[in-house]
Amino acid sequence: MIVKKKPEAFWWSLFGVGGTLAALLLPVHIFLLGIAGPLGWIEMPDQDTFRSVATHPIARIYFFCLISLSLFHWAHRFRHSLNDGLMLKHVEAYIIILCYGTAIAGTVLAGILVIII
């Protein structure tokens, strides 16, 4: 019965899980690869080492989940920010397509990348 309703519960679940994953894992990723590495505080991994890490089955799943769910987290929150913060409720349908559409596209891309890497 609930399934036939608008899938708000579904989007919210993805938002919640994505928000948790992003909160736990993104800071350390950004810090290591984006700040500490380039500033020379730690050594940047070369392509070979990093690739051998990233091709481990668990790493593939890890990257896929982290990227996809972070995108869904963004999509859901940004949709509400546009709706409420910028009062764009009247174009909600377009916002939904734009936000979740981008997240779905990113998920597909992440899926392809972690498979062929």
By beta-carbon proximity to another protein, the closer residue of 2 and 57 is 2
Cβ proximity of 44 and 38 under 8 Å: yes
Tell me which H or E stretch contains 113.
helix 92-116
Shortest Cβ 37–another protein spacing (Å): 7
Read off φ and ψ for residue 88, nearest 5 degrees: -105, 30
Where along the sequence are the contacts to another protein (CB under 8 A)? 1-3, 5-10, 12-13, 16, 18-20, 22-35, 37-39, 42, 44-48, 50-51, 54, 63, 66-68, 70-71, 73-78, 80-81, 83-87, 89, 106, 109-110, 113-114, 116-117
Read off φ and ψ for residue 96, nearest 5 degrees: -60, -45
